[in-house]
Amino acid sequence: MNKNLLLYFIAAVAATGGLLFGFDTGVINVALPSLRERFHPSPEMEGFIVSAVLFGGMAGPFISGPLTDVLGRKKINIVASLVFVVGSIIAAIAPSVTFLIIGRLFLGLAIGIVASTVPLYLAEIAPTNQRGRLVTFFQFAITLGILLSYVVGYFFADQVDGWRSMFWAGFIPAVALLIGMFFVPESPRWLIGKGRDAEALEVLNRLREPEQALLEVAQTKQIIEDEKHNKGDWRMLFSKRLRIPLFIGIGIFFIQQFSGINAIIYFSTDIFKNVFPDGGTAALATVGVGIINALSTFVAILILDKFGRKQILYTGLIGTAICLATVGLAFYLKDSLSPEIQKIMLVGGVYVYIIFFAISLGPLGWLLISEIYPLKIRGFASSMGSFNHWLFDAGVAYSFPILAATSLGTNGGIFGIYMMVVLLGLLFAKYIVFETKGMSLEEIEKRYN
Ligand code: BGC
């Protein structure tokens, strides 16, 4: 197979993990109405059904953290796909709410694992000049998964027990990931880390020109030699020399999540109901969010290796801040605005926000945690990054409906808070994030010596 084609085949298989991430986080919004009809859950139970995936997501990194560096990038993804398969079946056949929550916990667990292992695998297999693009493939798959869940939800909305069909739909990519994972090679960098140089060279020869393959093996071996005094356990992540990458893993997800992205991804229908009182139009406007998100992420794939990471981050932060201000003002000024203008400010603000998010904060979160950590603890460290993501995600998912019911919801203050976080992100981008475009993983690692 042509070397580039093989690279993209590998990326497509691995990114199926992202598709499941997006699908299983997005599907609950569209599944809830028919779940309510079947189980009549109390509001607390409903909260559990929605957040079970996020809790599972928080637990996943504790499995992938220790195991990614031990089992390898390929085996851990096989484990995750098995968990996806089991979780989808339990959720789809659930005879009770308890079963459903267990199924959703399993799905979350699997998402929590792939969220750190897939970007890392892609970063390790990619040539330096295509690393941004390849990892962004994962983010693109997330957005396709979200869109797919909205579309599937739209089709099965009127079916009795439509939620079962929706969860079954998630079973198909889970099986595809499981089968596909058997056909992709192990990460060459992980193989070298385990002293399996010949196998690594074999993999690289299938993906690169022979001289480049030899060079990459030599560079990775050199890094391992330089680092051999280091035990490479979890304590390393908290050592002084890795302070900046540690902060990046926390900060990028704090800003990504508290920019309010999932207030929109999970609750946009409710938000749009402020200007489209009939639920149908609001639901359709939500499909618009899904489409714009996926299309803009596709653009991100094209631009990520052209511009610097920092440049992209600045653009995204400024753009999202302006949009959040616009949405907030649409609420704050609603009595003095004409309904038409309010609609344009709210829906337009959300849509343009999604564009800026999708080209910057969305892909950059997963990209940065896949490339900034040293090989020895890369699996553990990126898993911790993923944990931060789920923790902050749960924080937003929990607080949004509560805050939306207070005056911060009616006067748009909640979007003002998200805007402040994004503005804080400018300082983070300036003083903490460093440029990684064009640097090989080994060159990045040398920074910490
Ligand atoms: C974030 C998710 C979010 C998605 C939206 C991802 O990068 O991690 O929390 O739902 O982007 O596209």
pLDDT tens column, 337-352: 999 999 999 999 999 9
Q: What is the mean pLDDT of residues 377-381?
A: 87
> What confidence score (pLDDT) does residue 16 get?
94
Ligand 1, closest atom to CA 293? 12
> What confidence score (pLDDT) does residue 404 get?
87
Q: Which of 256, 359, 391 to mutate to test the pocket of ligand 1 (most atoms within 8 A of CB)?
A: 256
Q: What is the mean pLDDT of residues 210-230?
A: 85
Q: Give the separation between CA 94 and CA 81, rounded to whole angstroms.
A: 20
Tell the residue nearest (CA) to atom 12 of ligand 1.
143
**Cβ–ligand 1 contact at 293 (below 6 Å):** yes
Q: What is the mean pLDDT of residues 9-14?
A: 92
Tell the residue nearest (CA) to atom 7 of ligand 1.
362
Q: Are 70 and 43 in contact (CB under 8 A)?
A: no
Residue 197 reports pLDDT greater than 80:
yes
Residue 229 reports pLDDT greater than 80:
no
Task: Please state the three-class secondary structure of the chain as a single string.
Answer: CCHHHHHHHHHHHHHHHHHHHHHHHHHHHHHHHHHHHHHCCCHHHHHHHHHHHHHHHHHHHHHHHHHHHHHCHHHHHHHHHHHHHHHHHHHHHCCCHHHHHHHHHHHHHHHHHHHHHHHHHHHHHCCHHHHHHHHHHHHHHHHHHHHHHHHHHHHHCCCCCHHHHHHHHHHHHHHHHHHHHCCCCCCHHHHHHCCCHHHHHHHHHHHCCHHHHHHHHHHHHHHHHHCCCCCCCHHHHHCHHHHHHHHHHHHHHHHHHHCCHHHHHHHHHHHHCCCCCCHHHHHHHHHHHHHHHHHHHHHHHHHCCCCCHHHHHHHHHHHHHHHHHHHHHHHHCCCCCCHHHHHHHHHHHHHHHHHHHHHCHHHHHHHHHHHCCCHHHHHHHHHHHHHHHHHHHHHHHHHHHHHHCCHHHHCCHHHHHHHHHHHHHHHHHHHCCCCCCCCCHHHHHHCCC
> What confidence score (pLDDT) does residue 257 get?
97
> What confidence score (pLDDT) does residue 224 get?
81
Q: Is 431 exposed, middle or buried (0-12, 13-18, 19+ CB in 10 A)?
A: exposed
Q: How far is the CA of 362 from the centre of ligand 1 (A)?
A: 6
Q: How far is the CA of 210 from the centre of ligand 1 (A)?
A: 37
Tell the residue nearest (CA) to atom 10 of ligand 1.
262
Ligand 1, closest atom to CA 139? 7
**Cβ–ligand 1 contact at 365 (below 6 Å):** yes
**Cβ–ligand 1 contact at 265 (below 6 Å):** yes
> What confidence score (pLDDT) does residue 29 get?
78
Tell me how far CA of residue 182 lies from CA of 1, 76, 162, 170, 198, in angstroms.
17, 12, 32, 20, 20
**Residue 156 pLDDT grade (very low, low, confident, very high; cuts 50, 70, 90):** confident
pLDDT tens digits, 388-433: 999 999 999 888 888 888 889 889 999 999 999 999 999 999 999 9
Q: How far is the CA of 265 from the centre of ligand 1 (A)?
A: 8
**Residue 319 pLDDT grade (very low, low, confident, very high; cuts 50, 70, 90):** very high
Least confident of 52-56, 215-219, 233-237, 323-327: 233-237
Q: Which of 21, 28, 142 to mutate to test the pocket of ligand 1 (most atoms within 8 A of CB)?
A: 142
Q: How far is the CA of 261 from the centre of ligand 1 (A)?
A: 7
> What confidence score (pLDDT) does residue 236 get?
82
Residue type, 438: G
Q: Are 143 and 23 in contact (CB under 8 A)?
A: no
**Cβ–ligand 1 contact at 261 (below 6 Å):** yes
Residue 94 reports pLDDT greater than 80:
yes
Residue 72 reports pLDDT greater than 90:
yes
Q: How far is the CA of 59 from the centre of ligand 1 (A)?
A: 18
> What confidence score (pLDDT) does residue 365 get?
94
Closest to 116 measured CA to CA, from 222, 228, 14: 14
Q: What is the pTM assigned to this prediction?
A: 0.90
Residue 151: both structure tokens together:
């579309």
**Residue 223 pLDDT grade (very low, low, confident, very high; cuts 50, 70, 90):** confident
Least confident of 12-26, 155-169, 349-363: 155-169
> What confidence score (pLDDT) does residue 322 get?
98
> What confidence score (pLDDT) does residue 409 get?
85
**Residue 25 pLDDT grade (very low, low, confident, very high; cuts 50, 70, 90):** very high
Tell the residue nearest (CA) to atom 1 of ligand 1.
362
Query: What percentage of residues in the chain have a pLDDT greater than 70?
Result: 99
What's the gap between Cα 58 and its chain centre? 13
**Cβ–ligand 1 contact at 142 (below 6 Å):** yes
Q: What is the mean pLDDT of residues 174-186?
A: 95
Residue 10 reports pLDDT greater than 90:
yes
Ligand 1, closest atom to CA 25? 10
Q: How far is the CA of 10 from the centre of ligand 1 (A)?
A: 22
Residue 233: both structure tokens together:
């356990």
What per-residue string of b and e applies to 98-137 under the rule 16 or more CB within 10 Å gives b? Answer: eebbbbbbbbbbbbbbbbbbbbbbbbbbbbbebbbbbbbb
> What confidence score (pLDDT) does residue 427 get?
97
Q: How far is the CA of 167 from the centre of ligand 1 (A)?
A: 20
**Residue 225 pLDDT grade (very low, low, confident, very high; cuts 50, 70, 90):** confident
Give the chain's mean pLDDT. 91
Least confident of 122-131, 275-284, 431-440: 275-284
> What confidence score (pLDDT) does residue 283 get?
81
> What confidence score (pLDDT) does residue 36 get?
87
**30 or 73: whose pLDDT is higher?**
73
> What confidence score (pLDDT) does residue 240 get?
86
**Cβ–ligand 1 contact at 64 (below 6 Å):** no
Q: What is the mean pLDDT of residues 100-109?
A: 96
> What confidence score (pLDDT) does residue 387 get?
94
Closest to 115 measured CA to CA, from 21, 199, 227: 21
Tell the residue nearest (CA) to atom 6 of ligand 1.
362
pLDDT tens digits, 301-316: 988 889 999 999 999 9
Task: Kindly give, in sequence order, each residue whose CB lies less than 8 Å from that of residue 329, ignoring residues fewer than 6 positions away.
Answer: 345, 412
Ligand 1, closest atom to CA 389? 8
**Cβ–ligand 1 contact at 386 (below 6 Å):** no
Q: How far is the CA of 366 from the centre of ligand 1 (A)?
A: 9
**Cβ–ligand 1 contact at 393 (below 6 Å):** yes
